[in-house]
Amino acid sequence: MPSRDTNVAFVRTEFIEPSPPPSSTQGPVAWMRENLFSSIPYSILTLLSIYFIYTLLAGLLPWLFGGVWDTSSIRECREVIEGTGGCFSVLSERWNQLLFGISYPQNAYWRPALAFVLLFVAAAPVMFPAVPRQLLVFTGLYPFLAFWLIWGGTILAPMVGLLGFVAGYMAFVQLEKTNGFAAGFFGGIVAALIVWLLGGFISGAMPHFIALEAVASRNMGGFMLNMILGTVCVSLSLPLGIALALGRQSDLLIIKWICVVFIEFIRGVPLITLLFVANVVLAYFLPPGTNFDLILRVIIMITMFSAAYIAEVIRGGLAALPRGQYEAADSLGLDYAQSMRLIILPQALKISIPGIVNVAVGLFKDTTLVSVISMFDLVGMIRGPILASTEWNGVYWELWGFASLLFFVVCYGISQYSQWLERQLATDHR
């Protein structure tokens, strides 16, 4: 057997201290070499990209800064502009129609504007844990306040709405203690209905009690309509989606199948079809003479549509949770409602955030589809009254650019918020 003269024994007597990396890997030059010019093909791509960006800006910036803002028609624009420049006068002249629609009373623009500002106050405690919890009271009041501000009329109507919810909740709490969940649930609904019925008579009898000028739903329009539909539908479809996702997982077969059929049916139908149903077909089913608000019908349809998608996203989140989480919650003696609320949903929703935001952003943009059923939202406004007018026929880039900008700001905001939220909730340190 050949012997080796090397000795395998080795004992380390002192440990190596950590030292800084070599200086050639730091500094701006090293950064550029690594990220922009790491090889010849990459350098070519970098130069091509720079050239592309330059051409884009060289076209865009003169158009943007050479534009005119104070003419009264597209013909005047053409006379005034030398070289390139956008005809932005359409925005400065028609901004009110773009934002609020044609028939919203001019002297009441402050009302939706105020409702918009208050929306941030109401959303803050829900979106940011650092905001004082007391503000949640305002969040609860906000829907009724915003309704009163935007639609006007007597303050009694939204107050009755609020009282109905309060009465329903109180009945639920009382009955749940003594008679269980189901009794509380239906008792709450009955109590709310009674309050709404009685309150409806009172507010109907006194239409001028602390009243703002009433604005009919058909007069809502512009970006305001998109915001109303987007906000209401997102905030309604999230809880509905959670309920559907849990229902689909339920052990109760009937509930499970109702949820499955609902989700699969809604997902199998284009939104535009549902909107036509809301606009035209529902009227055949309702007794003649009933005035079932068009915006309300559209809200119901869009909410159902996005709730079905959100339910599927959340189902994915629920499925991604290890079975051990359910078992641990069970083994500690938590009941179904507690384990869902405290253990399962917080984690499943966290996993689902990107998907939910995806649906929310999509939903917000889909609100422009209502222009097809002759509602004058931002897109309907541009396509209809503005582009059809003799003054502004042909101003495409400026109008659609403006519309894109408004939607982009909102959607980008939502997406940034969701990324921030994901970082906030990251506790697993993987």
Partner 1 sequence: MAEAQMQVSDEVAISIQNMNKWYGSFHVLRDIDLTVYRGERIVIAGPSGSGKSTLIRCINALEEHQKGSITVDGTLLSSDIKNIDTIRSEVGMCFQHFNLFPHLTILENCTLAPIWVRKTPQKEAEETAMHFLEKVKIPEQADKYPGQLSGGQQQRVAIARSLCMRPRIMLFDEPTSALDPEMISEVLDTMVQLAEEGMTMICVTHEMGFARKVANRVIFMDAGQIVEQNEPEEFFENPQNERTKLFLSQILGH
Do residues 228 and 301 make contact, with C-beta atoms less than 8 angstroms apart? Answer: no
Q: How far is the CB of 302 from partner 1 (least distance, A)?
A: 31
17 binds partner 1 (CB under 8 A): no
333 binds partner 1 (CB under 8 A): yes
Nearer to partner 1, 40 or 130 (CB): 130
338 binds partner 1 (CB under 8 A): yes
Identify which range of 159-167, 305-313, 332-340, 405-413 contacts partner 1 by CB under 8 A.
332-340
Q: Which residues, 391 to 430, sit near partner 1 by CB under 8 A?
A: 425, 427-430
Say how many residues touch partner 1, by CB under 8 A.
23
Q: How far is the CB of 129 from partner 1 (least distance, A)?
A: 13
Nearer to partner 1, 132 or 333 (CB): 333
Q: How far is the CB of 181 from partner 1 (least distance, A)?
A: 12
Among 42, 128, 330, 393, binds partner 1 (CB under 8 A): 330
CA distance linking residue 90 with residue 95, whole number of Å: 8
Do residues 97 and 385 make contact, with C-beta atoms less than 8 angstroms apart? Answer: yes
Among 50, 126, 173, 342, binds partner 1 (CB under 8 A): 342
335 binds partner 1 (CB under 8 A): yes
Q: Which residues, 179 to 208, sit near partner 1 by CB under 8 A?
A: none
Q: How far is the CB of 184 from partner 1 (least distance, A)?
A: 18
325 binds partner 1 (CB under 8 A): yes
Do residues 407 and 362 make contact, with C-beta atoms less than 8 angstroms apart? Answer: no
What is the phi/psi pair of residue 214, to 5°? -75, 140
| Residue found under tokens 């440990």 | 15
- Coil, helix or strand for 39? coil
Q: How far is the CB of 335 from partner 1 (least distance, A)?
A: 6
Q: How far is the CB of 337 from partner 1 (least distance, A)?
A: 10
Nearer to partner 1, 338 or 404 (CB): 338
Among 30, 56, 190, 332, binds partner 1 (CB under 8 A): 332
Inter-CA distances, 321 with 40, 171, 309, 350, Å: 46, 35, 19, 11
Inter-CA distances, 410 with 97, 230, 383, 414, Å: 19, 10, 21, 6
Compute the C-alpha angle 415/416/418, nearest 5°.
65
Nearer to partner 1, 103 or 424 (CB): 424
- First CA to last CA across the chain, in angstroms? 51
Q: Which residues, 303 to 322, sit near partner 1 by CB under 8 A?
A: 322
Identify which range of 67-75, 86-94, 336-344, 367-375 contacts partner 1 by CB under 8 A.
336-344
- Would you call 142 exposed, middle or buried from its count of C-beta atoms within 10 A (0-12, 13-18, 19+)? middle
CA distance linking residue 148 with residue 245, whole number of Å: 33
Do residues 199 and 160 make contact, with C-beta atoms less than 8 angstroms apart? Answer: yes
Nearer to partner 1, 38 or 424 (CB): 424
133 binds partner 1 (CB under 8 A): no
Do residues 151 and 207 make contact, with C-beta atoms less than 8 angstroms apart? Answer: no
Among 347, 352, 367, 371, binds partner 1 (CB under 8 A): 347
151-183 b/e (C-beta count within 10 Å ≥ 16 → b): bbbbbbbbbbbbbbbebbeebbeebbeeeeeeb
What residues make contact with partner 1 under the rule CB under 8 A? 322, 324-325, 327-335, 338, 342-343, 346-347, 350, 425, 427-430
